[in-house]
Amino acid sequence: MTDPSALYRYRDSLAAVDLLGAAIAHLDFFSWLERSPADAKTICNGLSLHERPTDVMLTLFAANSLVTCDTRGTYCVTELAREFLTCKSPYDARSYYNSMADR
């Protein structure tokens, strides 16, 4: 049997791009979190999200240095996210992702 792991990595990569795109284009997640650092439960309630996809989203964003989590479980945006993925930034790149909104 050949190794299918590359095929799974492609799918995971697409899912990651879609999740990031949805968070930016549909939720404006990073602008929201910049205004209101929050724990996972508050994020779920504030954005009407379910627990499991929120956990996946936060894990992905932490792994990609877009959010950090302190010892109390409060998430906040990193400088990278603040600089390019929030509404108040002069370098706001959200429109680049908004073109994917209907994907």
Tens digits of per-residue pLDDT, 72-102? 999 999 999 999 999 999 999 999 888 877 7
Q: How far is CA 32 from CA 13, 23, 24, 29, 62, in A?
A: 25, 10, 10, 5, 16
- Residue 11 has a pLDDT of 82
Are the C-beta atoms of 94 and 24 separated by less than 8 Å? Answer: yes
pLDDT in tens, 24-80: 999 999 999 999 999 999 999 999 999 999 999 999 999 999 999 999 999 999 999
Range of the domain at 60: 5-98
Number of structural domains, the chain? 1
Q: Note whether residue 103 is domain-resident.
A: no
Q: Note whether residue 42 is domain-resident.
A: yes
State pTM to two decimals: 0.89
Domain harbouring 48, CATH code: 1.10.10.10
Q: Note whether residue 73 is domain-resident.
A: yes
Q: Note whether residue 66 is domain-resident.
A: yes
Q: Which long-range contacts (CB under 8 A, 24 or more apart) does 49-56 make?
A: 56/19
| Burial class of residue 57 (count of CB atoms within 10 Å of its CB; 0-12, 13-18, 19+) | buried
